[in-house]
A and B are shown apart, each in its own frame.
Chain A
């Protein structure tokens, strides 16, 4: 399972949001996309999923176009993009993960119920299954969204800022969970703004500021030099483009 992104560009209202972004995310690893506000981190994920229309670029999963494998990819939107007054209980939202595998008119079977129960259990929400989603803390809400991805039994997970407004216990639980999913062969991509937890959790980093600034194994890329260039005021001054992505990936 390899997510291959090449030459991905998106323009919002005549202003480039991301320009010629290229990277690979491999199964068995947690890839972090980091960069300053407005660097286009969320846009990359949305463009990968086709939720915003890219101007150029290709996205392949093991060589297949994304439309062929959508049921195997879980996309977790930013928590605050959702309406938490919505009438749903925790189990309802987690059950939505099963929708990716639905067959029209088929009732939910034992496999579905098992997947839902085990997903709730892995994020420690079994006891809150019948709570209204608005009664959860921020950390519990985020855990519920991850449980939904687990219920989907996705082999690729794309998470948009999963740790915003989330308690430290949940950060610890979720980063451990994501790392163990990767260890079991999943391809995990996390958009992230907090550098502190990044280095611990991600074994691969993509430094983004509208363009790819650098990428590679965390140990090599997570240096003050590269981070300074990523967070530099003028993104154009420090960019490397698609042509240099291979150099950046030298591992």
Chain B
């Protein structure tokens, strides 16, 4: 196995030179690709490398092979400048300007080469590279420019970091961002010219995007991103070259394909940002939400250890597109006990359920008090948010609101230690005519009735007196003057504390 890797190097000098060139190019362009990716400028490499063809043709025209490097550099910087200028001074957006300039310079380069037919330029090699044809002097030039690029990036790392994250702040504190922009263009040009031999103009585009994009999936800091990208570039260069040697395909495409494979692996398997990790995370969240909702559904404030029939639980679960097997998960987690009558919350289950009720009601209080969400919409808002608030968030919320006792419907909020106060009171529909009372809480299970209560002003703390009862309507006085008719459906959901005498405690839902 080791021989397979070493033999080509000892037997063929071109492999040694080629490997050194490919590695240099792979690492250098990988580091630069990070800056392009975080600046959302991945196509800048594309644009400049096309422009380099014109530079190569012009440089060769003036000074043959010796002029290629400088010609490429000048044209690359010039086209980068032109792109920036047109973007700033016309309504055409950056992507379109890049498209125009890089095809134009590419076309001009091709035209010039087809007219002058320079003998020292092999168009195929310029476009797609010929790493195994690297000469000693080519390698020296590649290494020199690679080292220069890396040194400059390291020396100006903090400036690049700040500028790429927050260009407005960079300008605000007086950084000369124009200089950075030209510097980046210059570094790109140098890298692309140095990469001509190894991967060619077209394929270097991939090396200026793929390693950076791969590393972005795997890291959370720019510095680490550059290190990982460099490793990807290194692996692509070495791997690609050996693949090219043994499978006998062109070296440039082989290097690019290895880099692409690395990207595909990262995209799928990256620990936090990969497709797989995200899917697992999503499923875990969905499971947690379902568990929390089911615990709340099983919870009965009056009798925390009340038994719910399996038929009822089954109906509830089918409403959430699942079935009774779900209950077994909760049993395994020690949250629910099953017996012949049905399901009952364990102590741990009750604690969890109370925690959910607390979160839900604090959120309702917050949405109502701070954001002015009207009563009928509160439940849905809290239902959406309750699974996203962590315990620290619940504590903050409680402190911020001044440890409220009730939600806006008047329902008691369980304490942080899981104590649930009972609200004294009984349904308005049970009040005898003539008895004065005060609304303690209103049920929130029917949005339409809640809207009607808001319209009528039948809300917590309001004084209400039943004046008369018929079969399905009650005549009540609300506040001082308003005399209204309400349905028993509505009256069933209004809990009243008599104001003239003490009463026994009543359900606290």
Q: Which residues of B contact A93 (CB under 8 A)?
A: 165
Q: B221, A77: Cβ atoms under 8 Å?
A: no
Q: Which interface residue of B38, B168, B216, B222 has the most chain A CB atoms within 10 A?
A: B168
Q: Which residues of A contact B162 (CB under 8 A)?
A: 96, 99
Q: How many residues of B contact A (CB 8 A)?
A: 29
User: Interface size class for chain A?
Assistant: 20 to 34
| B370 nearest CB neighbor, chain A only | A168
Q: What is the predominant secondary structure among interface residues of chain B facing chain A?
A: helix
B222 touches A87 (CB 8 A): yes
Residue A100 interfacial (CB < 8 Å): yes
Residues of A within 8 A of B219 (CB): 87
Answer yes or no: A203 CB below 8 A from chain B CBs.
no
Smallest Cβ distance from A96 to chain B, in angstroms? 5
Instruction: Please tell me if the beta carbons of A100 and B173 are within 8 angstroms of each other in the complex.
Output: yes
**A49 in contact with B171 (CB, 8 Å):** yes
Q: Is there an interface contact between A99 and B168, defined as CB atoms closer than 8 Å?
A: no
Q: Cα distance A9–B356 when bound, in Å?
A: 54
Given contacts A83-B40, A86-B38, A172-B400, contact A70 B172 (CB under 8 A): yes
- CB proximity of A46 to chain B, nearest CB, Å: 8
B122 at the interface (CB under 8 A from A): no
Asked if A89 contacts B220 (CB within 8 A), the reply is yes
Closest to B164 in A: A86
Stretch at the interface among B10-18, B153-161, B256-264, B286-294: B153-161
Q: A51-B172, A99-B159, A100-B173 are in contact. Are A89 and B221 (CB under 8 A)?
A: yes
Q: Which residue of B lies closest to A131 (CB)?
A: B220
B366: interface (CB < 8 Å): yes
Instruction: Give the residue of A74, A96, A100 whose beta carbon is less than 8 angstroms from that of B161.
Output: A96
A111 within 8 A of B: no
Could you count the A-B residue pairs with CB atoms below 8 Å apart for me: how many are there? Answer: 79
Given that A70-B174, A75-B169 are known contacts, is A105 also in contact with B225, CB under 8 Å in the complex? no
User: Which positions 154-188 of chain B face chain A at CB distance < 8 Å?
Assistant: 155, 158-159, 161-162, 164-166, 168-169, 171-175
- At the interface, yes or no: A220 with Cβ under 8 Å from chain B? no
Question: Cα distance A88–B172 when bound, in Å?
Answer: 20
Q: A82-B166, A86-B38, A88-B165 are in contact. Are A51 and B171 (CB under 8 A)?
A: yes
Are B171's CB and A169's CB within 8 A? Answer: no
Residues of B within 8 A of A71 (CB): 173-174
Interfacial residues of chain A within 61-80, with CB under 8 A of chain B in the complex: 67, 70-71, 73-77
A-B contact pairs, 30 of them (CB 8 A): A51-B168, A51-B171, A70-B172, A71-B174, A75-B169, A75-B172, A76-B169, A77-B169, A83-B40, A83-B165, A85-B216, A86-B165, A87-B221, A87-B224, A87-B225, A88-B165, A88-B222, A89-B221, A92-B221, A96-B162, A96-B166, A99-B158, A99-B162, A99-B175, A100-B173, A105-B155, A168-B366, A168-B400, A169-B396, A172-B400
